[in-house]
Amino acid sequence: MNVKNFIIGGIVGGIADFLLGWLFYGTLFADSFGGGHPANMPFIALGCMTFGFFVSFIFNQWAQISTAATGAKAGAVIGLFLGLFGNFFMNSMNLTPDYKLIALDMVIMIFKAGVVGSIIGFIHGKMK
């Protein structure tokens, strides 16, 4: 594994995930996802960095993804499965799930992960 690619891809991917999350969840769809409670920003930042390193690890160690296009496709698939995983568990105790909100979250997650994957794939390709 190329550790330099992994670290730089993970950091840049995490920052991109954080900024996209702020754009979608904090700005564009804040009324839908606000919840009325103040956000715990350190945990949000750590979650975004974890996602960046997760994608960077997969691309670097297992898939050898090094183009933006391939990274976008793989990232979108990762976003699909992580979005389903998260939404199923978040709504598992909810007697009346909000299916529109679940669908919106899925679209956002797939898009965000695709962009993050594209960025990480691009970075890995440029650093070869």
Say if CB 116 and CB 20 are below 8 A apart.
yes
What spatial distance separates the first Cα and last Cα of the chain, rounded to whole Å? 12
What confidence score (pLDDT) does residue 69 get? Answer: 98
How many domains are contained in the chain? 1
pLDDT along the chain (128 residues), means of 10: 95 98 94 82 97 98 96 98 96 93 97 98 93
Q: What is the model's pLDDT at position 115? A: 98
Single-letter amino acid, residue 85: F
Q: What is the pLDDT of residue 61?
A: 95
Structural domain span for residue 111: 3-126
pLDDT of residue 92: 94
